[in-house]
Amino acid sequence: MLQPTYFLAATALIGSLLLFTRSMNNDDLVNFRQLSSSSITEYNDPKTVAPRQMTLREQQQQQPQPNFEFEFDITESLIENRPNCQVVYIMGVEGTAHHGLVPVLETLAKHQIDPATQFEYIVDVDPKPLKSGLFGWHRNLQRKWGFKGGDTPPMDHPDLVRSVVQSSCPLDGKKHVMIEWQSFPSGLEEDRRKYRVLRQREWLSMTPREIAADEEALRHPANMTAFVEAYSPYAEIRFVVLNRPFLETIASNPDWDESLIGHSNIIRGFLLILRNFLDVHHIDGVDGRRLWSMVCVERIMAKFYEREEDVIAARANIIAYLANFLGWPVGECPYCFDQWHDSTKDPMEMLGALDPKTVDTLFEHLGTLEGVWPPPGESGVEEQQCMV
Protein backbone atom coordinates (compact mmCIF):
# COMPACT_ATOMS: atom_id res chain seq x y z
CA MET A 1 0.00 0.00 0.00
CA LEU A 2 1.05 3.59 -0.67
CA GLN A 3 2.30 5.51 2.30
CA PRO A 4 -0.06 8.37 3.31
CA THR A 5 2.47 11.02 2.20
CA TYR A 6 2.92 9.46 -1.26
CA PHE A 7 -0.85 9.05 -1.62
CA LEU A 8 -1.52 12.70 -0.81
CA ALA A 9 1.19 13.86 -3.24
CA ALA A 10 -0.20 11.74 -6.08
CA THR A 11 -3.73 13.01 -5.43
CA ALA A 12 -2.52 16.59 -5.50
CA LEU A 13 -0.65 16.04 -8.81
CA ILE A 14 -3.70 14.51 -10.50
CA GLY A 15 -5.87 17.32 -9.28
CA SER A 16 -3.44 19.92 -10.62
CA LEU A 17 -3.41 18.29 -14.02
CA LEU A 18 -7.21 18.22 -14.16
CA LEU A 19 -7.41 21.87 -13.15
CA PHE A 20 -4.73 22.75 -15.77
CA THR A 21 -6.52 21.04 -18.62
CA ARG A 22 -9.88 22.55 -17.68
CA SER A 23 -8.32 26.02 -17.81
CA MET A 24 -7.05 25.50 -21.35
CA ASN A 25 -8.94 26.78 -24.33
CA ASN A 26 -9.51 24.37 -27.26
CA ASP A 27 -6.38 25.42 -29.22
CA ASP A 28 -4.16 25.03 -26.17
CA LEU A 29 -5.59 21.59 -25.53
CA VAL A 30 -4.91 20.44 -29.08
CA ASN A 31 -1.31 21.68 -28.88
CA PHE A 32 -0.83 19.99 -25.54
CA ARG A 33 -2.10 16.66 -26.84
CA GLN A 34 0.15 16.91 -29.94
CA LEU A 35 3.15 17.67 -27.74
CA SER A 36 2.42 14.83 -25.35
CA SER A 37 1.91 12.36 -28.21
CA SER A 38 5.10 13.36 -30.12
CA SER A 39 7.89 10.85 -30.41
CA ILE A 40 10.81 11.54 -28.11
CA THR A 41 13.10 10.98 -31.11
CA GLU A 42 12.07 14.39 -32.47
CA TYR A 43 14.11 16.20 -29.82
CA ASN A 44 17.83 16.56 -29.22
CA ASP A 45 17.53 15.87 -25.49
CA PRO A 46 14.52 14.30 -23.72
CA LYS A 47 14.89 16.97 -21.05
CA THR A 48 14.35 19.77 -23.62
CA VAL A 49 11.98 20.55 -26.48
CA ALA A 50 14.71 21.75 -28.86
CA PRO A 51 14.12 20.09 -32.28
CA ARG A 52 16.66 17.47 -33.30
CA GLN A 53 18.54 18.15 -36.57
CA MET A 54 17.14 15.85 -39.29
CA THR A 55 19.48 13.57 -41.19
CA LEU A 56 20.03 14.11 -44.93
CA ARG A 57 17.93 11.02 -45.70
CA GLU A 58 15.06 12.35 -43.58
CA GLN A 59 15.29 15.74 -45.29
CA GLN A 60 15.13 14.10 -48.72
CA GLN A 61 12.14 11.99 -47.67
CA GLN A 62 10.27 15.09 -46.54
CA GLN A 63 10.87 17.01 -49.78
CA PRO A 64 7.89 17.04 -52.16
CA GLN A 65 8.13 14.30 -54.76
CA PRO A 66 7.74 15.13 -58.48
CA ASN A 67 4.16 14.85 -59.55
CA PHE A 68 3.56 14.02 -63.18
CA GLU A 69 -0.21 13.81 -62.82
CA PHE A 70 -1.78 15.59 -65.78
CA GLU A 71 -5.35 16.67 -65.33
CA PHE A 72 -7.65 15.10 -67.88
CA ASP A 73 -8.77 18.46 -69.19
CA ILE A 74 -5.11 19.61 -69.62
CA THR A 75 -4.28 16.55 -71.71
CA GLU A 76 -7.43 17.08 -73.73
CA SER A 77 -6.45 20.72 -74.23
CA LEU A 78 -3.04 19.69 -75.57
CA ILE A 79 -4.72 17.33 -78.02
CA GLU A 80 -7.20 20.00 -79.09
CA ASN A 81 -4.30 22.45 -79.58
CA ARG A 82 -2.59 20.11 -82.08
CA PRO A 83 -3.33 22.33 -85.12
CA ASN A 84 -1.35 25.11 -83.41
CA CYS A 85 1.66 22.91 -82.64
CA GLN A 86 3.87 21.86 -85.56
CA VAL A 87 7.26 20.19 -85.78
CA VAL A 88 9.09 20.48 -89.11
CA TYR A 89 12.01 18.03 -89.11
CA ILE A 90 14.58 18.60 -91.87
CA MET A 91 15.64 14.99 -92.40
CA GLY A 92 18.80 13.87 -94.13
CA VAL A 93 22.20 12.28 -93.70
CA GLU A 94 25.32 14.30 -92.94
CA GLY A 95 26.41 16.52 -95.79
CA THR A 96 23.01 17.26 -97.31
CA ALA A 97 22.98 21.01 -96.55
CA HIS A 98 20.85 21.07 -93.40
CA HIS A 99 22.48 24.33 -92.31
CA GLY A 100 21.62 25.94 -95.62
CA LEU A 101 17.94 25.01 -95.61
CA VAL A 102 17.20 26.06 -91.99
CA PRO A 103 17.21 29.83 -92.70
CA VAL A 104 15.15 29.21 -95.85
CA LEU A 105 12.39 27.48 -93.88
CA GLU A 106 12.68 29.94 -91.01
CA THR A 107 12.15 32.89 -93.35
CA LEU A 108 9.21 31.17 -95.04
CA ALA A 109 7.62 30.36 -91.66
CA LYS A 110 7.99 33.93 -90.45
CA HIS A 111 6.11 35.12 -93.54
CA GLN A 112 3.04 33.22 -92.41
CA ILE A 113 -0.05 34.75 -90.82
CA ASP A 114 -2.84 32.56 -89.51
CA PRO A 115 -5.89 33.50 -91.62
CA ALA A 116 -8.28 32.57 -88.80
CA THR A 117 -6.66 34.71 -86.06
CA GLN A 118 -4.40 37.11 -88.01
CA PHE A 119 -1.57 36.13 -85.64
CA GLU A 120 1.94 35.68 -87.03
CA TYR A 121 3.50 32.25 -86.58
CA ILE A 122 5.81 31.79 -83.59
CA VAL A 123 8.92 30.14 -85.07
CA ASP A 124 11.67 28.40 -83.08
CA VAL A 125 14.78 27.20 -84.93
CA ASP A 126 16.48 26.16 -81.68
CA PRO A 127 13.68 24.29 -79.91
CA LYS A 128 15.41 23.36 -76.65
CA PRO A 129 12.43 21.51 -75.10
CA LEU A 130 12.12 19.37 -78.23
CA LYS A 131 15.88 18.70 -78.31
CA SER A 132 15.67 17.67 -74.67
CA GLY A 133 12.85 15.29 -75.47
CA LEU A 134 14.29 13.77 -78.65
CA PHE A 135 18.02 13.68 -77.99
CA GLY A 136 18.29 13.87 -74.19
CA TRP A 137 19.96 17.30 -74.20
CA HIS A 138 19.31 20.19 -71.79
CA ARG A 139 19.06 18.13 -68.60
CA ASN A 140 18.20 21.30 -66.69
CA LEU A 141 14.83 21.30 -68.46
CA GLN A 142 14.28 17.67 -67.49
CA ARG A 143 14.97 18.54 -63.85
CA LYS A 144 12.57 21.46 -64.11
CA TRP A 145 9.91 19.06 -65.36
CA GLY A 146 10.50 16.79 -62.36
CA PHE A 147 12.97 14.20 -63.69
CA LYS A 148 15.77 14.20 -61.11
CA GLY A 149 18.93 12.12 -61.07
CA GLY A 150 19.94 9.10 -63.10
CA ASP A 151 19.65 8.72 -66.83
CA THR A 152 17.43 10.87 -68.96
CA PRO A 153 13.97 9.31 -69.42
CA PRO A 154 13.09 7.43 -72.62
CA MET A 155 12.15 9.76 -75.47
CA ASP A 156 8.59 8.37 -75.62
CA HIS A 157 8.00 8.64 -71.85
CA PRO A 158 4.43 10.05 -71.74
CA ASP A 159 5.21 12.63 -69.07
CA LEU A 160 8.32 13.81 -70.91
CA VAL A 161 6.36 14.13 -74.16
CA ARG A 162 3.59 16.18 -72.56
CA SER A 163 6.14 18.38 -70.77
CA VAL A 164 7.87 19.10 -74.10
CA VAL A 165 4.56 19.93 -75.77
CA GLN A 166 3.37 22.16 -72.93
CA SER A 167 6.67 24.07 -72.97
CA SER A 168 6.79 24.37 -76.77
CA CYS A 169 3.18 25.12 -77.65
CA PRO A 170 1.42 27.19 -74.97
CA LEU A 171 -2.33 27.43 -75.23
CA ASP A 172 -2.27 31.02 -76.46
CA GLY A 173 -4.22 30.64 -79.70
CA LYS A 174 -1.10 31.13 -81.84
CA LYS A 175 0.56 28.75 -84.28
CA HIS A 176 3.90 27.50 -82.94
CA VAL A 177 6.41 25.99 -85.38
CA MET A 178 9.56 24.16 -84.26
CA ILE A 179 12.23 23.53 -86.90
CA GLU A 180 14.59 20.65 -86.09
CA TRP A 181 17.43 19.39 -88.30
CA GLN A 182 19.81 16.98 -86.54
CA SER A 183 21.37 14.80 -89.22
CA PHE A 184 21.67 11.00 -89.43
CA PRO A 185 24.09 10.23 -87.89
CA SER A 186 25.03 13.21 -85.72
CA GLY A 187 28.11 14.26 -83.81
CA LEU A 188 31.23 12.27 -83.07
CA GLU A 189 32.12 9.52 -80.61
CA GLU A 190 33.50 12.05 -78.13
CA ASP A 191 30.61 14.50 -78.58
CA ARG A 192 29.98 16.36 -75.32
CA ARG A 193 26.28 16.73 -76.08
CA LYS A 194 24.23 14.23 -74.10
CA TYR A 195 22.78 12.05 -76.83
CA ARG A 196 21.06 8.96 -75.51
CA VAL A 197 23.13 7.04 -78.06
CA LEU A 198 26.42 8.48 -79.32
CA ARG A 199 28.05 7.70 -82.65
CA GLN A 200 29.38 4.14 -82.30
CA ARG A 201 32.88 3.04 -83.31
CA GLU A 202 31.49 -0.43 -84.06
CA TRP A 203 29.70 0.97 -87.10
CA LEU A 204 33.09 1.35 -88.83
CA SER A 205 33.39 -2.44 -89.06
CA MET A 206 29.79 -3.07 -90.18
CA THR A 207 28.21 -3.26 -93.60
CA PRO A 208 25.44 -0.75 -94.41
CA ARG A 209 22.79 -3.42 -93.92
CA GLU A 210 24.25 -4.38 -90.55
CA ILE A 211 24.19 -0.73 -89.50
CA ALA A 212 20.56 -0.43 -90.65
CA ALA A 213 19.63 -3.36 -88.39
CA ASP A 214 21.69 -2.22 -85.40
CA GLU A 215 19.61 -1.29 -82.34
CA GLU A 216 21.94 1.56 -81.42
CA ALA A 217 21.86 3.02 -84.92
CA LEU A 218 18.07 2.90 -84.94
CA ARG A 219 18.07 5.09 -81.81
CA HIS A 220 20.62 7.64 -83.04
CA PRO A 221 20.20 10.57 -82.91
CA ALA A 222 16.62 9.58 -82.06
CA ASN A 223 14.21 6.83 -83.04
CA MET A 224 11.88 8.45 -85.57
CA THR A 225 9.18 5.79 -85.25
CA ALA A 226 8.98 6.34 -81.49
CA PHE A 227 8.97 10.10 -82.10
CA VAL A 228 6.01 9.97 -84.48
CA GLU A 229 4.00 7.59 -82.30
CA ALA A 230 4.61 9.55 -79.08
CA TYR A 231 4.19 13.12 -80.36
CA SER A 232 1.56 12.82 -83.09
CA PRO A 233 -1.41 13.08 -80.70
CA TYR A 234 -0.19 16.52 -79.61
CA ALA A 235 1.76 17.95 -82.57
CA GLU A 236 1.54 17.98 -86.34
CA ILE A 237 4.80 16.41 -87.52
CA ARG A 238 6.15 16.94 -91.03
CA PHE A 239 9.46 15.72 -92.48
CA VAL A 240 11.27 17.70 -95.17
CA VAL A 241 13.58 15.02 -96.61
CA LEU A 242 16.84 16.19 -98.19
CA ASN A 243 18.67 14.57 -101.04
CA ARG A 244 22.02 15.64 -102.39
CA PRO A 245 23.95 13.65 -105.01
CA PHE A 246 25.81 10.89 -103.18
CA LEU A 247 29.37 11.80 -104.16
CA GLU A 248 28.79 15.42 -103.13
CA THR A 249 27.37 14.22 -99.82
CA ILE A 250 30.44 12.08 -99.10
CA ALA A 251 32.83 14.81 -100.24
CA SER A 252 31.35 17.30 -97.78
CA ASN A 253 32.96 15.49 -94.81
CA PRO A 254 35.92 13.57 -96.28
CA ASP A 255 37.84 13.31 -92.99
CA TRP A 256 35.08 11.72 -90.91
CA ASP A 257 34.88 8.06 -89.89
CA GLU A 258 38.62 7.51 -90.48
CA SER A 259 38.32 7.26 -94.28
CA LEU A 260 36.06 8.03 -97.21
CA ILE A 261 35.18 4.33 -97.45
CA GLY A 262 34.26 4.14 -93.77
CA HIS A 263 32.23 7.34 -94.02
CA SER A 264 30.48 6.08 -97.14
CA ASN A 265 29.50 2.83 -95.41
CA ILE A 266 28.01 4.63 -92.42
CA ILE A 267 26.14 7.13 -94.59
CA ARG A 268 24.69 4.31 -96.70
CA GLY A 269 23.64 2.50 -93.55
CA PHE A 270 21.68 5.53 -92.38
CA LEU A 271 20.18 6.05 -95.83
CA LEU A 272 18.75 2.55 -95.47
CA ILE A 273 17.37 3.44 -92.02
CA LEU A 274 15.70 6.56 -93.38
CA ARG A 275 14.27 4.77 -96.42
CA ASN A 276 12.81 2.01 -94.24
CA PHE A 277 11.18 4.62 -92.04
CA LEU A 278 9.78 6.65 -94.95
CA ASP A 279 8.37 3.56 -96.68
CA VAL A 280 6.29 2.76 -93.59
CA HIS A 281 5.29 6.31 -92.65
CA HIS A 282 3.61 7.87 -95.68
CA ILE A 283 0.59 9.47 -94.02
CA ASP A 284 -0.07 11.33 -90.79
CA GLY A 285 -2.32 8.96 -88.84
CA VAL A 286 -4.24 11.82 -87.22
CA ASP A 287 -5.07 14.22 -90.06
CA GLY A 288 -4.51 11.92 -93.05
CA ARG A 289 -2.11 14.28 -94.81
CA ARG A 290 1.26 13.38 -96.32
CA LEU A 291 3.93 13.00 -93.62
CA TRP A 292 7.04 13.74 -95.70
CA SER A 293 8.15 15.50 -98.85
CA MET A 294 11.42 15.62 -100.79
CA VAL A 295 13.72 18.57 -101.41
CA CYS A 296 16.39 17.92 -104.03
CA VAL A 297 19.27 20.11 -102.90
CA GLU A 298 20.86 20.16 -106.35
CA ARG A 299 17.64 21.78 -107.67
CA ILE A 300 18.26 24.74 -105.35
CA MET A 301 21.86 25.26 -106.46
CA ALA A 302 22.58 27.80 -109.16
CA LYS A 303 25.23 25.57 -110.73
CA PHE A 304 22.48 23.14 -111.74
CA TYR A 305 21.06 25.69 -114.20
CA GLU A 306 22.40 27.63 -117.16
CA ARG A 307 20.25 30.75 -116.74
CA GLU A 308 19.56 32.83 -113.64
CA GLU A 309 15.85 33.04 -114.40
CA ASP A 310 15.68 29.23 -114.28
CA VAL A 311 17.25 29.28 -110.80
CA ILE A 312 14.73 31.85 -109.60
CA ALA A 313 11.80 29.91 -111.05
CA ALA A 314 12.92 26.59 -109.58
CA ARG A 315 13.42 28.06 -106.12
CA ALA A 316 10.01 29.75 -106.26
CA ASN A 317 8.42 26.42 -107.20
CA ILE A 318 10.18 24.67 -104.29
CA ILE A 319 8.98 27.33 -101.85
CA ALA A 320 5.40 27.16 -103.12
CA TYR A 321 5.36 23.39 -102.87
CA LEU A 322 6.85 23.40 -99.36
CA ALA A 323 4.27 25.91 -98.14
CA ASN A 324 1.47 23.78 -99.57
CA PHE A 325 2.89 20.59 -98.08
CA LEU A 326 3.30 22.19 -94.63
CA GLY A 327 -0.19 23.70 -94.72
CA TRP A 328 1.12 27.26 -94.62
CA PRO A 329 -1.08 29.88 -96.30
CA VAL A 330 1.66 32.07 -97.86
CA GLY A 331 3.55 30.38 -100.69
CA GLU A 332 5.65 33.29 -101.92
CA CYS A 333 8.91 34.33 -100.30
CA PRO A 334 11.24 36.49 -102.40
CA TYR A 335 13.86 36.73 -99.63
CA CYS A 336 13.95 33.10 -98.53
CA PHE A 337 17.24 32.34 -100.28
CA ASP A 338 19.09 35.48 -99.25
CA GLN A 339 21.30 33.45 -96.88
CA TRP A 340 21.75 30.47 -99.20
CA HIS A 341 25.22 29.81 -100.61
CA ASP A 342 26.03 27.10 -103.12
CA SER A 343 28.73 24.67 -102.06
CA THR A 344 32.08 25.32 -103.71
CA LYS A 345 33.32 21.75 -103.33
CA ASP A 346 33.80 19.77 -106.51
CA PRO A 347 33.43 16.04 -105.78
CA MET A 348 35.08 15.03 -109.06
CA GLU A 349 38.11 17.15 -108.20
CA MET A 350 38.22 15.45 -104.81
CA LEU A 351 37.97 12.03 -106.42
CA GLY A 352 40.75 12.89 -108.84
CA ALA A 353 43.11 13.32 -105.91
CA LEU A 354 42.40 9.80 -104.62
CA ASP A 355 43.96 6.51 -105.59
CA PRO A 356 42.05 4.64 -108.33
CA LYS A 357 41.05 1.78 -106.00
CA THR A 358 39.24 4.14 -103.63
CA VAL A 359 37.52 5.86 -106.54
CA ASP A 360 36.32 2.49 -107.91
CA THR A 361 34.98 1.52 -104.48
CA LEU A 362 33.04 4.77 -104.10
CA PHE A 363 31.43 4.30 -107.51
CA GLU A 364 30.49 0.75 -106.45
CA HIS A 365 28.86 2.24 -103.34
CA LEU A 366 26.97 4.67 -105.55
CA GLY A 367 25.64 1.76 -107.60
CA THR A 368 24.26 0.00 -104.51
CA LEU A 369 21.90 2.94 -103.87
CA GLU A 370 19.88 2.32 -107.03
CA GLY A 371 16.25 1.81 -105.96
CA VAL A 372 17.11 2.69 -102.36
CA TRP A 373 17.94 6.38 -102.37
CA PRO A 374 16.61 8.89 -103.13
CA PRO A 375 12.98 7.96 -102.40
CA PRO A 376 10.52 8.87 -105.14
CA GLY A 377 9.43 12.50 -105.15
CA GLU A 378 5.96 13.76 -105.85
CA SER A 379 4.83 12.60 -109.29
CA GLY A 380 4.70 15.41 -111.81
CA VAL A 381 6.75 17.86 -109.72
CA GLU A 382 9.95 18.47 -111.67
CA GLU A 383 11.86 19.87 -108.68
CA GLN A 384 11.29 16.63 -106.75
CA GLN A 385 12.99 14.33 -109.28
CA CYS A 386 16.31 14.01 -107.46
CA MET A 387 19.72 12.91 -108.71
CA VAL A 388 21.46 9.91 -107.15
User: What residue numbers bound the domain in which 238 lies?
Assistant: 74-384
Is residue 348, in this structure, part of any structural domain at all? yes
**Does 10 fall in a domain?**
no
7 located within any domain: no
Q: Does some domain include residue 61? A: no
Please check whether residue 47 lies inside any domain of the structure.
no
Band (50; pLDDT cuts 50, 70, 90): very low
Mean pLDDT, the chain, rounded, equals 84
The answer to whether residue 374 sits within a structural domain is yes
Helix axes 72-80, 158-168, angle to 10 degrees: 60
Query: Mean pLDDT, to the nearest integer, of 269-285?
Result: 97
Number of domains in the chain: 1
Residue 42 lies in a domain: no
Q: 115-171, pLDDT tens digit by residue?
A: 999 999 999 999 999 999 999 999 999 999 999 877 789 999 999 999 999 999 999
Find the CATH number of the domain harbouring 168.
3.40.50
Tell me what pLDDT residue 54 has.
Answer: 52
24 in a structural domain: no
